[in-house]
Amino acid sequence: MFKVAVLGASGLLGRALADELALQPDWQVVSTAFRRAGSQLIALDIRDAQAVAQFIEREAPDAVVVAAAERRPDVCEHDPALARALNVDAVRYVAQAAARRGAWVLSISTDYVFDGSQPPYRYDARPSPLNAYGRSKLDGERALAETTAFGCVLRLPLLYGPIVDWTESAVTSLVPAIAASAHGTADTKPAVMDAWAIRYPTFTPDVAFVIRQMLEHHARGEAINGIAQWSGEEPMTKYEIALRLAEALQLGEARLTPQYTPTDATPRPHNCHLDSSRLEALGIGRRTRFDTAIREVLVKFPWPGDAAGSS
């Protein structure tokens, strides 16, 4: 019996991964959460080194996937201690405990480890993060590499997928503003959307599929170590994402204005396109077209006209 521990299984990616792994008949999956623990999720604060060690020792997984993180750039910028606790120290705690058990570790990282000036970026390109979030995730990558050789970092770009609220993804967080611009009065201002930074929205069920394939390699004794990357291949700005969301929601009356210069208080890279060739060469990968995937997400969530004022 192959056993996998998913840390952070209540999050955007963690839920998709737990769903994907549940389909494997000969695998045992144990999942944890911090705030949303329940009957199927074990409560675990990965910032607690002792709790992490006890969990790994008790469950004795063959592989551990670290899907928990502080992924909000603005939060990381204003609270670097929190970013370090979740994105660096916690990764080291997990890696230390996993190494004692001989378990393989997969830690999720980000395209923001790059400055966005020279895409596409191979897995072995030199990182140069622009903000505290990117720096903390890069330090987390180093923490894993320094602690165990039996592990892999998986860098990912902007994620979207099935949600529990609009704000869970930077993609769906645009929906309330789009709906408000469509349903407002003549005096309602258009929704201003960034048209500078180029992003590569990536569907969480596709990422979960990729991770499952990586775990299968480990289960066969062919663990992938070091650094790997996966990304969607449809470049678009937030403005272009918003236009496609409006079309999917049949909000043709939405009023959207492109902003062609960066305005974020926290610096963002221009284009961090990740090269996925290392995994593709192993036959790993799946991509769902954005227009298809986003409709799958939206059909399962309340009509934005009812949620435009909520988050």
DSSP state of 87: I
Which helix (H) or strand (E) covers residue 304, if one does?
A: helix 304-307
Structure tokens at 251: 């909000």
User: Do residues 58 and 44 lie in contact, with contact meaning Cβ atoms separated by under 8 Å?
Assistant: no
Beta bridge partners of residue 33, listed in sequence order: 43
Distance, CA of 200 to CA of 269 (rounded, Å): 13
Catalytic positions: 133
Give CA angle at 266 (76, 274), nearest 5°.
85
User: Do residues 64 and 104 lie in contact, with contact meaning Cβ atoms separated by under 8 Å?
Assistant: yes
User: Do residues 48 and 92 lie in contact, with contact meaning Cβ atoms separated by under 8 Å?
Assistant: no
Which helix (H) or strand (E) covers residue 90, if one does?
A: helix 90-101
Beta bridge partners of residue 152, listed in sequence order: 106, 226
